[in-house]
């Protein structure tokens, strides 16, 4: 019998069209660099600022770096929206409804300690006006920034941010600039 605990450490391997081709342990996949399914959630506050998190130092990679509100991997058989809502709650203490899929992209980045992120990343947007209460094992800090503030920080201190945020942010801005800024 497969338990939730067993599923927690499995990621879904996919081809470039996001067709599942198997599952494998999360750490094995990050060592081998196999393409797998992931998601990144960008949550905006009532002032249209992006809620960023600073990854906890104890994370298996990219500890201490700033990134989008939440990012993770859906479990095998788990719908993206359900996985995003679950991880927003677990990582940031955010209860969100209306999480909307915006686009997907593939990126590959070496993230240190011999680990590689090679993800077909589904990008989702949401709005949140309540409390943010990060789990300190997941995020050591959080803050809300305007698009312009994040652009400036990415230009002047790119080493402070995760590889996937740097890859994804131009696509997020493009999508928001296409009339979706207030529609999320």
DSSP state of 159: G
| Burial tier of 96 (Cβ tally within 10 Å: 0-12, 13-18, 19+) | buried
Residue 86 to residues 119, 146, 170: CA-CA distances in angstroms?
20, 25, 26
Helix (H, G, I), strand (E, B) or coil at 141: strand
Tokens of residue 153, six digits = 């920080």
70 included as an active-site residue: no
Helices within the chain (DSSP H only): 4-8, 26-32, 80-87, 147-156, 163-175
Active-site hit among 70, 96, 117, 119: 119
Classify residue 109 as exposed, middle or buried by CB count within 10 Å of its CB (0-12, 13-18, 19+).
Answer: middle
Q: Clarify whether 119 is annotated catalytic.
A: yes
d(CA 152, CA 156): 6
Q: Which of 71, 91, 138, 168 is catalytic?
A: 71
Largest CA distance in the chain: 51
Catalytic residues: 71, 119
């Amino acid at each position: 019998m497969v338990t939730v605990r067993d599923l927690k450490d499995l990621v879904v391997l996919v081809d470039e069209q996001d067709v599942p081709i198997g599952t494998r342990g999360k750490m094995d996949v990050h060592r081998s660099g196999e393409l797998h399914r992931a998601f990144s959630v960008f949550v905006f506050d009532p002032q249209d600022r992006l809620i960023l998190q600073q990854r906890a130092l104890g994370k298996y990679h990219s500890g201490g770096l700033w990134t989008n509100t939440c990012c993770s991997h859906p479990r095998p058989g788990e719908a993206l929206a359900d996985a995003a809502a679950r991880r927003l709650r677990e990582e940031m203490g955010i209860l969100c409804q209306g999480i909307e899929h915006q686009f997907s992209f593939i990126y590959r980045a070496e993230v240190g300690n011999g680990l590689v992120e090679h993800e077909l990343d589904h990008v989702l947007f949401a709005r949140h006006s309540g409390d943010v209460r990060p789990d300190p094992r997941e995020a050591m800090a959080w803050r809300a920034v305007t698009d312009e503030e994040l652009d400036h920080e990415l230009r002047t201190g790119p080493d402070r941010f995760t590889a996937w945020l740097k890859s994804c942010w131009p696509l997020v801005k493009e999508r928001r600039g296409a009339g979706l800024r207030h529609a999320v």
